[in-house]
Structure 1
């Protein structure tokens, strides 16, 4: 209980760091632990957990550590599974969390960065630590030579962070906070889809599974049925969009892409959400929501990527749509639209295997299963 309260106090105290400025002691530094912009459960939990670990193991140095969720504060309710799990542990949006738009620009210029669950960032020039399971993109990530890269081919960033807690060198004060371990456990379980897709014979040597077992060693070992219940609870929270508006669903997870046919550059918003695309476009104000989103983000096209629950459980059914916002009114726009569709259908990396959804008529878009 004491350790849980200590973690909550750490999070509550981070808001005062928004006014931080360098003191007379030049060795006192501020580190921002910055999450991936998707701000999914894996990224958020990993960011909070590594900031706390580094804070508790700072030794005699008076370094400060500020975990920042790389999203706008207004969009936090769209992360339904994140909000569900954090509120289960009394971690609230207003009392404990700092978001990208909370941080003054002047502070960003004074800080060192810990990049969590990503390594391509505008702040690469002053990154001192990176935690990511993706392959290193050397051309896009100009990290300093001195930057420590913790980058292993695992499936969950939370597994990487758990390894830091298990490492006696990184965690020399042996901090073992049940609340942090509980959050990491849920993230590892969800990110690995309850390990049902991993052959049982290979589980003992699977690094993500080994980290799950490390956490359960301290939390209490769960039976298979208990893990399944926990996983299903998290999946249910992930798909519970009942309290969200259509614009919020579009903003839940998106990024802006750019494409060209050699003559014209267009902006494409890629919006991902845990709902079938066919269900989204069936809502009365779906077209208005898409038009408002495109106007806000200056998009020419919106690509919708929807994932829905398989009837037998699991995340099985996926749909894709490409929506033109100009109604394909000019010849050049139609050519680019066709060019994008051809690239999607012949894509080999990744291999999408798209099947056209031929009987849908919505905003002159192209729909695929």
Structure 2
């Protein structure tokens, strides 16, 4: 059984382990991140059975356990592919301080390569990076094994590593986990917008040759998309946390609906402010996506009580040339002065392209608004 190693790891006393290898996805914990961690964990565990220097392999989902229920498509598809959900490790159920002090620890980063501020202490233990994003110049990872290639899904890179090796069998459930992930991440190889590369296509085709009980691509995509977009039972706070990435202490939250519709919910603006206050965020960036048939719509909102930060973030997004988001203001949506809302006419630009703009804006803001700076605060 492919996922037996996950259950076995859950029974162990971590503090007694001499060698541990953690496979860790990113903090948004979307299906790509979760599937990549589990599938690469499977391969690493196969290798560990022959090489004791690897130690115990533990894939972890990089979110608090209580937030797992918010990842609707992740919960659904992992269960469908036979992953024992009750045995999974989460960010708050694994003690990194204990592992760093008591074990020989190695960490593999999948679906990201830039550590968040809270994770910088893990940097010396990172031994490998697998990511499909362009290399962040602040995270070169010299003397660390790297698999870096700009493709539609990190699962494509993991699948390629699995199907090009001949030492270990690749079970159907592992292939299916990666197969559905690539289908969802690339919008079923849709050209509107185009989110895939030739490598995504070739890897999918090779997987289809190996899968015995494969579903149709469009059928699987519609199934997963429907599950991901089911937000009927979520509160405002849960929606903000459902697909969240924090950069420079600014949350960038992606929603499966337009931001106008989200902010039209009862007390939404006040709930966003409470969410920011409870986590000590100075601003919140909200990305909304809606797709009906072939029509894709994107919107961006920035919410902040600090007018100067609101302006810096707004300027960064509206004036960007790489990419040019082609933002069109939606006027008079809120009278509070704390919210700016835009239609995003460049439908190809996703959060991957927006996050660096937010990071740059925060750096510029902190440079001019740090204590001792002569800039006037609003």
Q: Specify the TM-score bucket, using the shorter chain as the normaliser.
A: 0.7 to 0.9
Kept after mapping to 2: 8 A contact 1:213/1:221: no
2:189 alignment partner in structure 1 = 195
Report the CA distance between 1:18 and its aligned residue: 5.3
Structure 1 residue matching 2:327: 3-state secondary structure: coil
Shift of the 257–86 alpha-carbon distance from structure 1 to 2, 3 Å rule, reads: closer
In the alignment, structure 1 residue 366 sits paired with structure 2 residue 340: yes
What is the deviation of 1:318? Answer: 0.8
Shift, 1:57, TM fit: 2.4
Give 1:321's match in structure 2, choosing from 301, 312, 329.
Answer: 301
* Paired position in structure 1 for 2:357: none
- In structure 2, the residue matched to 1:349 is 322
Query: Within 5 A, what are the aligned runs for 1:45-56?
Result: 45-56=35-46
Are 1:18 and 1:107, in contact at CA under 8 Å, matched by a contact in 2? no
* Over 6 Å off, 4+ runs: none
2:9 to 14, 18, 26: 14
Tell me the CA shift for residue 276 of structure 1. 1.2
Give the secondary structure class of the aligned counterpart of 2:2.
Answer: helix
Once residues 318 and 160 of structure 1 are traced to their aligned partners in structure 2, the CA distance between those partners, rounded to angstroms, is 28
Number of the residue aligned with 2:373? none
Shift of 1:106: 2.7
1:244 aligns to 2:243 (yes or no): no
Q: For residue 138 of structure 1, report the CA deviation from its aligned partner.
A: 4.1
Q: Quick check: 2:255–2:289 contact (8 Å CA) kept in 1? A: yes
1:56-103: CA deviations, max 9, x gaps?
Answer: 12243332100011111111111111112112234353x231100001
Name the residue aligned to 1:329. none
For residue 266 of structure 2, what is the aligned residue in structure 1?
284
SS in 2 for 1:197: coil
1:209 is aligned to 2:183: no
Superposed displacement of residue 191, structure 1: 1.2
The reply on whether 1:36 has 2:23 as its aligned counterpart is no
SS in 2 for 1:7: coil
**Distance in 1 of aligned mates of 2:92 and 2:8:** 18
Q: 2:151 aligns with which of 151, 154, 163?
A: 154
Among 76, 86, 103, the alignment partner of 1:84 is: 76
Between the aligned partners of 1:84 and 1:305, the Cα distance in structure 2 is 24
Q: Please say if 1:101 is aligned against 2:101.
A: no
Instruction: Show the counterpart of 2:179.
Output: 185
May I ask how many residue pairs the two structures share in their alignment? 331
Please tell me whether residue 307 in structure 1 is matched to residue 289 in structure 2. Answer: yes
With 53-62 and 278-287 compared, the bigger mean Cα shift is at 53-62
C-alpha distance in 1 between matches for 2:243 and 2:192: 27
Report what 2:126 is aligned to.
127
Residue 360 (structure 1) shift:
0.9
Unaligned runs of 5+ residues in structure 1 are 1-5, 24-28, 259-266, 327-332
Which digits, 9 at most, give the CA deviation of each residue in 1:252-301, with x for residues without a partner? 2223444xxxxxxxx53322221211111111131342122112210222
Q: Distance in 2 between matches of 1:191 and 1:13?
A: 30
Query: 1:306: how far off?
Result: 0.9
Query: In the alignment, is the contact (CA less than 8 A) between 2:114 and 2:139 conserved in 1?
Result: yes
Q: 2:20 touches 2:57 (CA, 8 Å); kept in 1?
A: yes
For the structure 1 residues 87 and 59, does the alpha-carbon distance in structure 2 shift closer, same or farther, using more than 3 Å as the test?
A: closer
CA distance in 1, matches of 2:321, 2:12: 46
TM-score normalised according to structure 2 size: 0.81
Q: Is the CA contact (8 Å cut-off) linking 1:18 and 1:103 kept in structure 2?
A: no
TM-score, reference length from structure 1: 0.83
C-alpha RMSD over aligned residues: 2.4
Deviation at 1:167?
A: 2.1
Gaps of 5+ in 2: 344-378
1:67 aligned onto 2:59: yes
Separation of aligned partners in 2, 1:274 and 1:254:
12
Cα offsets for 1:13-71 (capped at 9, x unmatched):
22134524344xxxxx2100010111111111011000111111224333210001111
2:200 counterpart SS class: helix
Aligned residue number for residue 26 of structure 1: none
Taking the aligned partners of 1:231 and 1:190, their CA distance within structure 2 comes to 6
Is the CA contact 1:35–1:115 (under 8 Å) kept in the aligned structure 2?
yes
1:323: how far off?
Answer: 1.4
